[in-house]
Amino acid sequence: MPDLGSPLEHSVTVDGVEVRYGIRGHGDRDLLLVHGSAAHHGWWYAVVPLLEDRWRVIELDLSGHGDSGHRAEHSGATWAEELLAVVRAAEGRSPVVAAHSLGGRVALLAAAAHPGAFAGMVLLDAGIWPPRQLAERLGATVPRVRSVRVHATREAAVARFRLTPEQPAPPDGVLAPVAAASVRQVEGGWTWKHAGQAFPHLYGPDVERAAAGLVIPAVYASGAASRVVDDVLAERAAALMPRARHVRLPGAHHHLPLEVPAECARVIEELAAGLA
């Protein structure tokens, strides 16, 4: 099990900001893992051990997340460039990209802007349209600046860790290392590593066009109990992306890499099996 308290060992500078990345495994095929909003590479910590004996796994923290640098303003285009810069710096070889939530929208934008960058794509509960119950908040034209709540101790901050959107807790112990890797020390105490950043949600026509135009082999996997990709939005995605294989995971919620890591690894392996 990796030490999630240690920063990823490599970095590349993109538009003046340091983007951290790491490489694990020594397989013949490269796999790029992209986390979601207000998350970090640790969301994949239970998935990577299931793959690293057959894959060369590249992980990163998008700017504004984890141990990467912060920007005055974030955008889907810049995050997409970060993916490609990390692949180049890691000497990636036509990688498959597996991306969760917001990371899936970033991956779609990267694939649209740079055709041929990826050999295949696995989207894990990556909403293309805002979920109905959150549409008003998520559809705000101006990204919401996250409040910076400072806790007196590291332990107090870690104890307040919650998944967003909320869902039933994964098995005991799953969240502990992720929570511990999600906090940083600031003046007066401890807060989240992403605190104070205004992240665009990336729901919009650019992502919809990128999904509709995706030509590489793809899997669109979603949780049947997800609050982000409900039954209606899953069916809408299937109609938009007829060339992709669509998988609805029974009983699963939004945070698939934490909740059902074996299923995530399985859909990645199944996509790879169909590649030349």
Task: Kindly state whether residue 165 falls inside one of the protein's structural domains.
Answer: no
Q: How many Å apart are CA 180 and CA 55, to the nearest integer?
A: 27
Strands (E), 95-235: 96-100, 120-124, 183-186, 189-192, 218-223
Task: Kindly state whether residue 128 falls inside one of the protein's structural domains.
Answer: yes
- 146 band by pLDDT with thresholds 50, 70 and 90: low
Q: 68-77, 134-143, 200-209 — which is least confidently predicted?
A: 134-143
Task: Kindly state whether residue 241 falls inside one of the protein's structural domains.
Answer: yes
Cβ proximity of 99 and 107 under 8 Å: yes
- Interval 114-129 mean pLDDT: 97
Return the structure tokens found at 9.
Answer: 């060992």
Query: For residue 41, what are the contacts with CB-CB under 8 A and spacing of at least 6?
Result: 8, 22, 33, 35, 59, 60, 61, 66
Radius of gyration of the chain (CA): 17
- 50 band by pLDDT with thresholds 50, 70 and 90: very high
Task: Kindly state whether residue 45 falls inside one of the protein's structural domains.
Answer: yes
Q: Is the pLDDT of residue 137 over 80?
A: no
Task: Kindly state whether residue 150 falls inside one of the protein's structural domains.
Answer: no
User: Which residue is it, tokens 């992709």?
Assistant: 244
Q: What pLDDT score was predicted for residue 145?
A: 54
Of residues 108, 57, 24, the one with CA closest to residue 264: 57
CATH (domain of 84): 3.40.50.1820
Cβ proximity of 181 and 59 under 8 Å: no
User: Which residue is it, tokens 């008003």?
Assistant: 136
- 7 band by pLDDT with thresholds 50, 70 and 90: confident
Q: Is the pLDDT of residue 104 over 90?
A: yes
Q: Is the pLDDT of residue 28 over 80?
A: yes
Number of domains composing the chain:
1
Task: Kindly state whether residue 145 falls inside one of the protein's structural domains.
Answer: no
Q: What pLDDT score was predicted for residue 195?
A: 84
Task: Kindly state whether residue 79 falls inside one of the protein's structural domains.
Answer: yes
Q: What pLDDT score was predicted for residue 31?
A: 98
- Interval 51-59 mean pLDDT: 97
Q: What is the identity of the amino acid at 94? A: S
pTM of the model: 0.95
Domain of residue 94: give its range. Answer: 10-132+201-273
In the chain, % of residues over pLDDT 70: 93
- Interval 87-112 mean pLDDT: 98
Q: How many Å apart are CA 166 and CA 227, to the nearest integer?
A: 9
Q: What pLDDT score was predicted for residue 2?
A: 57
- 148 band by pLDDT with thresholds 50, 70 and 90: confident
- Interval 94-98 mean pLDDT: 97
Phi and psi at 122, nearest 5°, equal -120, 115
Task: Kindly state whether residue 87 falls inside one of the protein's structural domains.
Answer: yes
